[in-house]
Every structure is written in structure tokens, then in C-alpha cells.
Amino acid sequence: MQFIPLGILFLLTIILFYYKTIYDAVRERLRIYHFLSKFEGPTALPLVGNLYLVNIFDISQLVDQVMLLAVHYCKQGCGMIRLWIGPVPMLAVITPEYAKEILESNEVITKADEYEILFPWLGTGLLTSTGDKWRQRRKMLTPAFHFKVLNSFLAVHDYQAKVFLDQIKCHADNGKEVDLGPYIKRMALDIICETSMGATVDAQNNHDHQYVESVRRLSEIAFLWIIYPWIKLKPIWYLSGYGGEWDRHLKIVTDFTKNVIEEKWDEYQKYQLGAEKKDERSMAFLDLLLQLRSEGLMNEEDIREEVDTFMFEGHDTTAASMGWTLWCMAHHPDVQEKVIEEVDRIFGSSDRDCTNDDLKQMKYLEKCLKESLRMFPSVPFFGRKVEKDTVINGSFLPKGVRIVIVPLVLQRNPLLFDNPHQYNPENFSEEKMSARHAYADVPFSAGPRNCIGQKFAMMEEKAVISWFFRRYRVTASQEFERNKILPELIVKSSMGFPLTVHHRMDNK
């Protein structure tokens, strides 16, 4: 009997503990609901929230549905709209004024919980870290993107671009369409691998390389984890087979990176000891990380997560941008001819490599690349989490709310762009750009968390696309609008990029 009071006390303690937890959760939920009710937004249903408005099983329809919703509320003068994605409270930014305040904020810099799936792969590298760690990493890594370093990558861009041209040569002039997407992606992967690690997977010549397939599959599974809430439950995650597949591909990718880092670390140490000369082909990004490791500022895992971050962010994004650019060119032959004229004006009929001065002269091609990024931004959304009560542009944002900025919403808004669904490089003329809000176009994000590699990406894309049009033209038989946007982790195309390639007979 003497144990009964202790048992009762223990039981009461458990009840009181959970009561407080439940009470606090309900109180916090009601608080969020109260403040979100001050924002305009579509009616939410219990449990599913606003998911009834979209077909999550056919994401090719998602962009059109989101655009209609955003334009409707933008016309009513809303800067942000209230959404419930299932039980998750969210504010979607639909005007550049609010986008500026959010993206420039030094308070709202923590990525949303949807990025959690990437932690086992990318750790808390520059993409996913927050607070002091992010600030410190950003400061340490910035020197790796100095213009002198970027200029040294031009040789890699040139070499891999020429491999790409040779790879598709067999498809030229046969009158048949070929999906250029996989070719572009393999080229972009070789470029980022060599420039970030000083190594190569030789994906362009080795289409069955395990690393190539594993990166592709990890991206696909991560997106499924984000959009289907039930997959997040561990039993379903593994019973569905996704969990086991994720673990298998994750090991392949991280083991590959670790092995390359260790090889480069051995080389670095021998060089430091003067045992051998430094390999001139060693790339500056990994060199910088190894130097930070030697100074005790980073360990092996820190380096791996940053290298894997740049491997992931630096190839799918540029590949998507280049693919969509060629798709747009094929459907706008007048634009394509202007690009060819510019390329010929710079290079003539020579096969010489690109220089930085050449890239600076590609003014019209730069407009074309920026316009394809306006219509088809490589990153479909930027998510933030409000970690403490914040006021943005006069609006009170309670702790616990997630904020999402969708570049497509801003960049195809008819109130910001004339004929927003029409490809028009002149949207990036000096006159047009000066007349609109700077945050109407944010494909690389903006503010303190803008893409550190955006100059690298633009240099790569200019070099590759200029090489392409030095040798080829493209046409398309499929209608422009039939190729739907699939807003996965990186924007994809529903059809790939089926194009007919023609040798330029006028420049042989």
C-alpha cells in the first residue's frame, strides 16, 4: 500500500505534464490562427486546409492553379495571402514589396521545415544552416566566388561544352527530335564536380555512373517527401520502399564525396609539406575548404556537407535553365538568329575558347537567359520559418508561421509584366528593368541569403549556350505551352526538351 501514493503521484505528474504540453500547443495554435485570420486567403477545410484547391497528384496543373490564386488576391491589393497546407500555417508572398522585406530581413533567415529531408544529405551547409553558423559559413565561402576564381573555371566550361556538342553530334541533321535534357544535365554535373571538387565523374561519357543516378533519385524522393505528408511517417517511409531507396542512394553519394575529399586532403598535406607540386587543375572551392580544415575552422564532415550542397545546387539548376533557354529559342527563331549574330560577331568562324571579355560582350544572350529564368525559374520556391514574432511591411507575423516566396508568382504576374507568358528578352532591357520593382524578378533569391553561385551559373550558361549556337540551330515540333512546368525541388519540364538539332551550314 505504501507504493500507491507514489504511483498516483507519478500518474498525476504524467497527466499534468501532458496537459501543459497540450494546453501550450492549443494556445499557440489559436494564437497563430488569430493573427493569420487578419490576412486574406481562400477558405480552409479541417485537416486538409487549402489542399483541396490543387491536384497534388498531378503537379503539372499546380503552377496554373497557384497563378490564378495569386493574381486574384494581387488584384485585391494583397501583399501576402493566408494558406493552410494541411495543418501547416503559411503566408505566400505575392508582391515584390513584401518579397523585398522578407528576403532582406536578417530576422527571417531560417529555412522552412520542408528542407528537413535534405539534412541527411546536405547536413547544415550553406543551403540549410541558419543563424551564426550560416553567417560564418557565408563569410568563409565568399572568397571562393571571387571573379578571379570564376574566370579560372572558364577552361572547364569550354572543355565540357565541347564534349556536350560532340555527344549530340550524332543527332544533328537526321530530322528526328532528341531530348537534350539528359545531355545538358550530365554536362552540368561534370562541370560542377570538376569546379567544386577538382574531380570528375565523367558523366557525359559514362551515362550509367552510380553517382549520377543516385543524385537524380535523391532529388525525386525528397520532393515526394515534401508534397505527400503521409510519407513522413517512418513506418510508411520504409514500407513504401522510399526509405530504403533513400538510404541506399544517400550512401553512394556521400561515400563518393568523402573519398574525393580524402584524396584531395592527402594531396593538400603533401603540398603543404613541400613533398610535391600542387596540381594546377585543383579547383579553388575545395582548396579553400581544405585550407579552412588545416586551420581548424572546418572538419571533414563540414567540408562534405558544403561540397554536397554545391554539387546538388550547382548542376540541376543550371541544367534546367539551359534546357528551358534552348526550348524558348527553338520556338522563337527570330530571337535565336539574334543570338547567333551576336555569337558570330564575337567569335566569327573560329573554334577558340571563351574568354571573360567574350562573356561580357554577350549582352543579348544574357537577356535571353534572364528571360528564360523569369518564365522558368530553376528554384520553384524559397521557404522561411518565423522563429519569433516579427513585423514585415507593417504586417505582424506570429512565431511558427512559414513564409513561401514563389518566383513564378512574381515573375509571371500580369500586373508586373506585359504578356507575362510570352517569351520576350526585351523584358531585360535597361529601360524595362529600371521601370519595375527590383524584386519583381528573383530567380536567384535576393538579400543576405541570395545564391552565392549566381555569377558562376551565368558564366557557365553563357559559355555553354554560346558554344551551342556556334555550331548548331534548334527547332521544335511540339507547341511551346505543351511543355508544362513541374515544380519539384528544381523546376523540371513535363516533356523534357525534345528538339531537332541542325548543323549551322553557314558557319562550317
Cell of 248: 541506399
Residue 451, annotated as binding a ligand:
yes
Q: How many Å is the maximal CA-CA distance in the chain?
A: 101
**Sheet (strand 498-503) strand order:** 177-179, 498-503, 472-475
The closest alpha carbon to 65, from 478, 494, 489, 487, belongs to 487
DSSP 126-164: TTT--HHHHHHHHHHHGGGG-HHHHHHTHHHHHHHHHHH
The closest alpha carbon to 86, from 124, 123, 47, 112, belongs to 47
How do beta strands 88-93 and 402-405 pair?
parallel
Residue 121 burial class via C-beta count within 10 angstroms: exposed 0-12, middle 13-18, buried 19 and up? buried
The closest alpha carbon to 50, from 31, 70, 35, belongs to 70
**Can you tell me the distance from the alpha carbon of 146 to that of 205, in angstroms, rounded to the nearest whole number?**
31
Span between the terminal Cα atoms of the chain, in Å:
99
Beta bridge partners of 503: 472
Residue 358 burial class via C-beta count within 10 angstroms: exposed 0-12, middle 13-18, buried 19 and up? middle
DSSP category for residue 109: -
The closest alpha carbon to 469, from 295, 311, 304, 349, belongs to 349
Task: Give whole-number Cα distances, 342 to 335, 339, 360, 366, in Å.
Answer: 11, 5, 12, 11
Q: State the Cα torsion 331-335-338-340 to the nearest 10°.
A: -30
Binding-site annotation, residues:
451
- Binding site members for heme: 451
